[in-house]
Amino acid sequence: MSRALVVGSRGSKLALWQAEWARQALAERLPGTSVEIRVIRTQGDQQGSVAFDRLEGKGFFVKEIEEALLSGDIDLAVHSLKDLPGELPAGLALAACPEREDPRDALLSASRWEFADLPRGSRVATGAPRRGAQLRHWRADLEILPIRGNIDTRVRRLLEGRADAMILAVAGLRRLGLDVPWVPLDVDLSLPAVGQGALGIETRADDPRALAAAAQLDHPATMAAVRAERAFLGALGGGCRVPIAALATLAGTALRLRGVVATPDGSRLLRREAHGDARDPEAVGAALAARCIEDGAAELLGGGAGPPSG
């Protein structure tokens, strides 16, 4: 039997669910290959009480895992794609994206409120600037509460009454099968994070065995969609700390990309979309970013949007 494939993952319940899904899928598609999971603790996990905008550097949920990839300690990494920075370290590749789960945001509340029915002044918990900005744009009366921690911890805080409602990803709720009241938010109300609902399988770019294994899990339509979204984010120079959202959908080879850029307080919000060929998704992402920059995205983001100089 050949050497085991080692899959690296964070240690949260959701991350381990994702890694176990990948392990089982690889074992089914590669008979005779042993697949193991190795848990790696990341900066984001170690500083679970620190707000996103106060964490230093980029990729605070993936850096240590990528270091393990580069050192050869693991062969593949399974990420929630929205955690993966747009620019990967030299020597690493986004080798596959399995079929995407529902990318929408979900509104959790004990009363199963729809967004429009939230009582005036409701306290809504979210750890994402993107979500907070969009909610404030539509409902300036809401009090947005920052929150960190794994899904179980967040839900427990909601049920303890520390907030009136909470925003989480539909994908995480479905994957973990949590029994908590929620309703999906329309993407016209809350456009998802880049890559939300999708998994990213990362490998060393020069590892043919890992690349071939990852290819067994790839869903081409999902890969095309997230490549467009990531190109949009990369051209704007943003990450999960800034209010940028995007969602690509495909109909055959036609790709539709919707994007949002907002001020953190939601007072100004830019919503645009672009259409193009799914066979060149990066071009669609770049085109939408260019249009947003032309229409004032850099000002909304504090002057940080646009490609690097030099």
Enzyme catalytic residues: 83
User: CA angle, corner 295, sides to 289 and 298, nearest 5?
Assistant: 65
Task: Give one word for 46, left, alpha or beta, with left for phi > 0 and alpha for psi -120 to 50.
Answer: alpha
Q: Contact at 8 Å (CB) between 15 and 80?
A: yes
Sheet of 254-262: strands edge to edge?
244-251, 254-262, 269-277
d(CA 34, CA 106): 37
Q: Contact at 8 Å (CB) between 103 and 97?
A: no
d(CA 290, CA 232): 9
> How buried is residue 71: exposed, middle or buried, by Cβ count under 10 Å (0-12/13-18/19+)?
exposed
Three-class SS state of 195: coil
> How buried is residue 181: exposed, middle or buried, by Cβ count under 10 Å (0-12/13-18/19+)?
middle
Q: Contact at 8 Å (CB) between 42 and 60?
A: yes
Q: At what angle do helices 220-236 and 281-294 cross, to 10 degrees?
A: 30
Q: Contact at 8 Å (CB) between 197 and 103?
A: yes
d(CA 276, CA 295): 20
> How buried is residue 262: exposed, middle or buried, by Cβ count under 10 Å (0-12/13-18/19+)?
buried
Residue 159 has a CB neighbour count (10 Å cut-off) of 14
